[in-house]
Amino acid sequence: MRSWYDHAVTHAQALVAIRDTLEAAPGPVSIAVVDDHGEVVACLAMDGAARDTLDNARRKAYTAARSDATSTRALAEKVQSSPTELASFDPGFSFFHGGVAAFSGGRRVGAVGVSGLPGAEDERLAVAAIAAAGLEARV
């Protein structure tokens, strides 16, 4: 019998995403890979990464996995002019750039969050990590 977990990012994919980020990052970052419910599959803080970046990466990934947007950037843009909508979101959400949903076969299977560099660079690394893991990013 198939379960919901049959459609989640795997540990193997998460480790590939992390390794790709370690090799590609121009500076110390943290990366979190979560399943489609926002639960951590794997995470890592590079040597020299600021202490808060690991929690930031996890929150970015959680947001991208659980929101209706495909990235934290897209979600931030959506709520930018609506303080009421912003206030209604899960308090665990992050609106900093660098969280990107991962898809496989048209289904959201998880997300990657990267933190430690400027938002655009965090997002670029997250998209590359998703591709390296054989998944699709829709940003």
Instruction: pLDDT band for 138, please (50, 70, 90 cuts).
Output: very high
pLDDT, position 89: 80
Phi and psi angles of residue 138, each rounded to the nearest 5 degrees, phi first:
-120, 80
Distance CA 52, CA 75 (A): 22
Domain residue extents for the chain: 4-132
Mean pLDDT of 80-88: 75
pLDDT, position 83: 74
The tens digit of pLDDT for each residue in 20-33 reads: 999 999 999 999 99
Alpha-helix residue ranges (DSSP H) falling in the chain: 11-24, 53-66, 72-79, 83-87, 119-132
The tens digit of pLDDT for each residue in 34-76 reads: 999 999 999 999 999 999 999 999 999 999 999 999 999 999 9
pLDDT, position 5: 54
- pLDDT above 90: percentage of residues in the chain: 83
The CATH number that domain 4-132 falls under is: 3.30.450.150
